[in-house]
Structure formats: C-alpha cells, structure tokens
Structure 1
Amino acid sequence: MMDGTRPHSPERIARELDWNLLRTFVVLAESRSVTHAAQELRLKQPSVSAALRKLEDRIGRKLIDRSPGRYALTDAGRLLYREAVEINGSVLRLSTLMREITDEVQGHVKIAVASHVVCPLFDEAIAGFHAQNPAASLSIGVLSSADAIAEVVAKRASLAVCLVRSHSPRLEYRRLYREYFGLFCGPPHPLFGRSDLTRGDLAGHKSVSFDTDRLHDVLKPVTLMRAQAELGEKITGSSSHLEEVRRMIVAGMGVGPLPVHVAGRDVADGLLWQVPPYTGLPAIDVHVVWNPAAVKNRAEELFLRALLDAIERTPIEARTYA
C-alpha cells in the first residue's frame, strides 16, 4: 500500500468503508437469499452481489456462506451484523436529531413494552411528559420482552419496559415495579367458582402459559408454581402476549398464570377465577431498559429522566402490585 497501511488494517477499513455497503449487508443478513435482499432493497440481484463482494474485500473476510443449498452468516458475518445494526440505528437518528434543534421540544419517543404493562407510575410519567412537552410525540410498540430489549440494543427504540432474564453490560436497567403472579381459570373450567379448592385439586388439569414460562427463562418462578400445583406437564396453549394467555384462560383451555393486579378486574367481572396457591405467590420485576450508547433526542432525554426521577422518588413498596 502506498500509505504503508496493511490491506485490511483498521485504518484502511475506517477510511474506505462505505456506509451503503453496511446498510446493504444488514438487509442481506436479515434475508434468506441474495434475491430476497435485492427485493427488499429494490435493487437488481447483481448489484447486491457486487456490494457483498466489495464489502468482503474491504473487511478481508468472507461474511456469508453461499455454498449450494446454504445461505448463512459466517462468524465474521455475525460479528459485523451485530455492529452494523447499531451503526444503522445511529445513522437513522441523525436527521431526526438535526430537525429538533429548536427551543420547543419536538422529538419523538419510541417505547417498546412487554404485553400489558399495568403501572400507574408509568402512566403518570407519560401524562406529565405530554403536559410539559405538547409538541413532542410518543409511540408504544407491544413486543415480547426479548424483542423489546433487542430494539433497544439496535437503537430502534428509545427505551423498553419489560421483563429481564439477564443483564447486558451494554445496557442500563432500573426496576420499575414488582408484580405477583397467581393461577386463574375461566368460566368453562370445572374449577371455576369453587371457593373450597386446595392445591391438590389442580393436579392433572391442563394449563396455558407464556412462551417464557420455562425453568431456564425469565418466568422461572411461575414455572415452579405451576409444577408445585402438579398441573399437567403439557401446556395446551401459549403466547408471548398477556392478552392472548388471558383469552385462552377465559376460553377454558386450562389453568394459567397472570399478574394478580392485572387479573383483578376480570375476577370482579366474573371472567376469571383465582385458584390455589393464594399465598407465597412468585414475584416478577418489570424493568426500564435503555441503551447509554444511543444518542438521544431532547424528548427522549426528558422522558427517560422524568421516569427515572419518578422511580427514585417512589419507594418500591408503592411500586409493588399485589
């Protein structure tokens, strides 16, 4: 090389790497073939293939294994994809940040939440933020907890409100509230309406639950509660969304877990009936999760700060819903 750098040195990559190549690679990595990626990008297949070859030349590594009958990221491809997704999130935010340099807060806050988050403190934070910043906008997308966290990692969401299985050193976490899970059945179920139930009465009955209701996952305490109730091992219905788990319980598909404070109204309306155990219920924490590496617009900064301040001011006892 004329400048003395190695062919694939960090200096050369930083100087010569084209952002459009990275953007194309993100789509390739999320596609099932080059043809599919070309359709997503609205480009011709040869152009996409050429972009991949050029990127592999710049990086000095093969990124996608395209042998006959196979289309998969290599180890280098997986590593590059992880970084490129974050870069993509940062680039997409630039134009938004530039537009928001005004005296009035006009930014957008995108929140990813787990299904059916019921927390008065969270609701009050939204209400207060809107009252103080009426020109700012806010959107809430409902996802599984794992997908909500993935959106924060990729910088596509301002923050997440969800369950947390394990903590990543790349993210920040703050407990928003604690909820307790009980077991419930619906009107068609033979245990519905019975006030004389013991835990033994549940033995062998069918159950419905969440996709994360497994011993190695975030709802492990709920899994143990179901096991202690000796419910049938086979789960006849499952979902990552609380509303759909509730739907299956109400329909009589089986006994299932729900947060007690969320199910309270349905119990009062005669749509759900709580069954044993009634004490020693498993506690599950719901967290606020954000990415400190993401460059936040003013609206995002203000909303996150207001929510964290509200958490700090409110004792955990007042954020525990039984």
Structure 2
Amino acid sequence: MTTPRTEAARFLHDRLDWNLLRTFLVIMQERSVSRAAARLYLTQPAVSLALKRLEDTLGRTLIQRHGTVFRPTRAGEEVYRLAGEIYGQMSRLETELDDRSGDITGTVRLLTVSRMDSPVYDEFLADFHRAHPRVDLQIEVMRSSEIVSSLLRNTATAGLALCRTPQDKLEQRCFLHQRYAIFCGRHHRLFGRQGLTVADLLEENFVSFTTEQLGDSLSPLAVFRDQQGFTGRIVAVSSSLDEIRRLIFAGYGIGCLPEHIVRDDLLQQRLWRLPPDEGIADVDIHLLQRRSRKMTIAEQAFLDGIERTMQRYSLAERLGGR
C-alpha cells in the first residue's frame, strides 16, 4: 500500500532533471552564478533559471543571496551533498564500464603549494594511478604566485594554490578550506599559558610568511595584525610552511599556521594554541586550470578524477577532520 509520502517521492523522482542537479553542483562549487555560467558555457540567466527550476521542483530555497554574499540554506547543503554522491556514482560507473582506461598514456603536470596535507587527496592519487598506470605524473612545488603565472602561460595541466584574486582565464574551485590560527612553540615564554587574550600578544615578535603582504595570498593574516594593533617586530620570514612551523617551534616568535596542519604538534606539545579561540582567517587552496587549454586524454582523465573526488567528499572531509 502506497502512502502520500511514497507517492510524492515517486513523483519527485520522475520529474527531477539531473541536469538541474549538475548545474546546482557547479553553482555551489563556484559560489557564484556568473562563474558557474562561464564554466558550463551557458548564459547567466540560463543558470539562474535552472536554479529556480530546481528550487521549484524541490519546494525549497537552496541559496540565499544578499549582494555579494552567497549562502546555501540547510536544504541547499543537503542537496549539494546528495547530488555530489549521485555524480560520484555515475562517474565511477562510467569508469567501470570503460575497459580502455588502463590504455591511456601521457603526462600530467601538476603544480602545487607545499604541504598539501589531505588524506582524501592522497587516496585520489592512489586511485588515479591504479586506474591509469601508464599515465606519468609530474608534480612541482611552487609559490602560489608562480603557479598562477605558469597556468596563465599554459605550461601545466592544473595547479593547487592560494588565489585571492580570481583570474578571468583560470577556472577556480575551492579544494581545501583552511582556517589559520596563532601559535607559539615550546621554547616561547607564552607556551602553556592559560587564560591569555589577544591583548597579551600585541607586543610579541612575529614569524611571518613572505606572502603576508597586503594584496598577496596570505594578506588576511597581515590585516588581522594591523586591525588588532600588533606592535612586535617580524623577526623571521619564509615562503615555506614547514620552515615557518620550525621557526615558531624554535621560539623566534609567534605566528600563524593552518589548524589542521598542526594537530599532531599540539598533541605532542611542540606548539601551543594562542587566542583568539576561533582563529583569525580562512585561506583556501584552490584547484586552478586554464579555461581555454585543450587537454590531452590523460589530462582530462586526471581532472575528471579529481572532480569526482571533490563531489564525493566535503571540504571538512578533505582535511581529514578527526
């Protein structure tokens, strides 16, 4: 015996258009209707209409927009999660049915910032190699500005980098959502101190990334210091996250690091978390690729694979939240 609820669900299944879900996935990834339209090679009104049709079909508001602020509703987050799972299953089915995948040959050149600390990313690389053992992978570690410049010159397949200013010629999607906080090391006088406030830090010397200049990729860290009125000197700088971490541990000064990178350091009491408790800035790592680049079969297989990974795992899962 069918109930009104099961009949309604069957009606929804029959009338739901997968293309609308696919469009919604891209809108959520780009966090912008206009950027989603560019990625899908559609007009902005067409993408807006697709979003409205999906909302009408589901009877729910999925996205709230106030000026430039883009915020998915609770229903929108759930639809995004479920649509990602559906997309991942469909993509895996295609791979399973294509017995030619192991015959793909070629080279993928990937540019990346240092310390791409993500178990999901590691598993993706393993899965890709199993599926395409004859594809050679070249990974080069660079500064974010160098990665953007190389992609604009069309000299690489894709990049994983910080990119605060969107580039018209680059497709940009958030791959890791990092939260930066302030830490000191075991050799610093504030190590182990409880009950500290931001005011207690204002005169402390700082260890700084070279990209913490205003307008650069880590400028939110410099903006926070300026807004709070920090007066201590910058006593050590580096472009390397590992070297910044090392200098903070050594007691040169306090400094900012991504929270997920230093979990083990906190457990081993190599580093100490300082206020504010909520951290100071979000600095995301984006998957970047040149829009007009004609991809080889190997490159497209790599990008399709990482796309499936992004659909399957949420941003929190990609950081390996524990």
The TM-score with structure 1 as length reference comes to: 0.64
Contact 1:111–1:158 under 8 Å retained in 2: yes
Structure 1 CA distance for aligned equivalents of residues 247 and 231 of structure 2: 16
Q: What amino acid does structure 2 have at the position aligned with 1:220? A: S
Q: Distance in 2 between matches of 1:321 and 1:181?
A: 16
8 Å contact from structure 2 (residues 179, 279) kept in 1: no
Deviation for aligned residue 1:229 = 5.0
The corresponding residue for 1:115 is 114
> Contact conserved, 2:158 with 2:290, CA < 8 A, in 1?
yes
Correspondence for 2:176: 177
Tell me, what secondary structure is at the counterpart of 1:179? strand
Contact 1:181 1:259 in 2 (8 A): yes
- Matched with 1:253 is 252
Residue equivalent to 2:124? 125
Q: What is the rounded CA distance, in whole Å, between the counterparts of 2:259 and 2:235 in structure 1?
A: 22
Deviations 1:88-138 (A, max 9, x none): xxxxxxxxxxxxxx9712212111111212223322221110110112121
Q: CA deviation at 1:321?
A: 7.0
Q: Tell me which residue corresponds to 2:215.
A: 216
Does the CA contact (< 8 Å) of 2:206 and 2:234 recur in 1? Answer: yes
Q: Determine if contact 1:178/1:321 at 8 Å carries over to the other structure.
A: no
Q: In structure 2, what is the equivalent of residue 186 of structure 1?
A: 185
- Could you give the per-residue CA deviations for residues 275-320 of structure 1, whole angstroms, max 9, x where no partner exists? 1111153111110001132232222111111112221333445446
In the TM superposition, 1:260-279 aligns within 5 A as 260-279=259-278
- Is 1:297 matched with 2:305? no
User: What residue ranges of structure 2 are gaps of 5+ in the alignment?
Assistant: 1-100
Task: Report SS of the residue matched to 2:265.
Answer: helix
- 1:56-114 CA-to-partner distances (Å, cap 9, x unmatched) read xxxxxxxxxxxxxxxxxxxxxxxxxxxxxxxxxxxxxxxxxxxxxx9712212111111
Change (3 A) 1:157 1:181: same
Contact 1:180 1:321 in 2 (8 A): no
Give the length in aligned residue pairs: 222
Gaps of 5+ in 1: 1-101
Q: How many Å separate the matches in 2 of 1:264 and 1:103? A: 38
The alpha-carbon deviation at position 248 of structure 1 amounts to 1.3
Q: State the AA in 2 paired with 1:267.
A: L
User: What residue is the counterpart of 1:207 in the other structure?
Assistant: 206
Residue equivalent to 1:243 = 242
Q: Which amino acid aligns with 2:237?
A: S
1:149 positional shift: 1.3
After TM superposition, list the pairs within 5 Å mapping 1:2-21 onto structure 2: none
Per-residue CA deviations over 1:12-67 (Å, capped at 9, x if unaligned) read xxxxxxxxxxxxxxxxxxxxxxxxxxxxxxxxxxxxxxxxxxxxxxxxxxxxxxxx
Q: How does 1:57-96 map to 2 (within 5 A)?
A: none
Which residue of structure 2 lines up, in the alignment, with residue 11 of structure 1? none
Larger Rg: 1
1:166 matched to which residue of 2? Answer: 165
Further displaced range: 158-167 or 224-233: 224-233
Residue of structure 2 equivalent to 1:33: none
**Percent identity (aligned):** 32
Aligned-pair CA distance for 1:172: 0.9
Flag the 1:300–1:280 CA change in 2: closer, same or farther, 3 A: same
Structure 1: distance between partners of 2:252 and 2:206: 7
Question: Could you list the per-position Cα deviations for residues 149-204 of structure 1 after superposition, in whole angstroms to 9, with x for gaps in the alignment?
Answer: 11222222211101002111111111112010011111221111212322121121
Distance 1:276 1:321, change over 3 A: farther
